[in-house]
């Protein structure tokens, strides 16, 4: 997991068990699926974790525009997930917005070979929506890792180092499922919002973010927290008490 620190402006500041959910998360269906590539099985040591970091423009004295995250996930990341799904062993999203140098950023994190990472980076860079978002003052820059060296070869290498190793190794599977669900929610809501705003891309994803917010608020306690608790036999969990709690 990206270990960037976040503050109360981030939807991911959740105590205890709630931190596990923060991303709701993600599927692989795009509106116009590109052709898939043949399956790739990486030999030991020939794959690793890679980041594509989308840093948003965040004007001072304004709230982060979380709707841009949903637009990027659906229109930029989903097509590469579709095309390279057989070559990506694990993947997830990470969202954050904090008053620091990094600011508001959506990360697409995936485990694959350097060759696949390079192709994914090229496909993202060629997507015309990247230039449009920059031109419209929504996206500051996209940052890519150097594919000449595998810097994170182990499954646990992007998990929180404070966790027990047994959790570090298994957590990527959990957060991939959460990310996949989040993306599927986005795509379903986007199809509905496009009927209301056929000529306004940004209005579509503002509606999408509002819809995701409502689903999390209304259903998250039972859909996510209750069923995860049931999976772990309803055992007690240590929660750090905060003034602001969002779960």
**How confident is the model at residue 149, as a pLDDT?**
96
E strands along the chain, which residues?
A: 48-56, 90-97, 104-112, 139-144
Q: Give pTM, 2 decimals.
A: 0.82
**Mean pLDDT across the chain:** 86
Compute the distance between CA of residue 68 and CA of residue 139 in angstroms, rounded to an integer. Answer: 8
Per-residue pLDDT of 80-130, as tens digits, reads: 999 999 999 999 999 999 999 999 999 999 999 999 999 999 999 999 999
Per-residue pLDDT of 14-49, as tens digits, reads: 334 444 343 333 333 344 444 545 555 555 569 999
**How confident is the model at residue 38, as a pLDDT?**
53
Domains of the chain, residue spans = 16-31+46-231
């Amino acid at each position: 997991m990206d270990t960037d620190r976040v503050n109360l402006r981030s939807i991911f500041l959740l105590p205890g068990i709630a931190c596990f959910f923060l991303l709701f998360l993600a599927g692989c269906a795009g509106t116009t699926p590109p052709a898939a590539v043949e399956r790739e099985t990486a030999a030991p040591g020939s794959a690793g974790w890679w980041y594509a970091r989308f840093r948003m423009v965040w004007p001072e004295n304004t709230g982060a525009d979380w709707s841009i995250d949903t637009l990027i996930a659906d229109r930029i990341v989903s097509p590469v997930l579709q095309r390279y799904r057989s070559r990506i062993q694990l993947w997830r999203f990470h969202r954050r917005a904090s008053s620091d140098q990094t600011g508001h950023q959506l990360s697409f994190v995936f485990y694959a070979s350097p060759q696949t990472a390079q192709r994914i980076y090229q496909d993202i860079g060629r997507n015309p929506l990247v230039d449009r978002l920059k031109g419209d003052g929504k996206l500051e820059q996209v940052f890519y890792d150097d594919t000449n060296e595998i810097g994170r070869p182990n499954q646990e290498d992007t998990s929180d180092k404070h966790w027990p190793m047994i959790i570090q190794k298994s957590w990527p599977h959990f957060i991939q499922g959460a990310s996949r669900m989040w993306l599927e929610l986005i795509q379903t809501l986007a199809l509905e919002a496009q009927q209301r705003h056929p000529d306004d891309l940004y209005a579509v994803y503002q509606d999408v973010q509002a819809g995701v917010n409502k689903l999390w608020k209304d259903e998250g306690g039972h859909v996510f927290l209750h069923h995860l608790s049931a999976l772990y036999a309803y055992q007690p969990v240590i929660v750090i008490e905060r003034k602001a709690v969002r779960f």
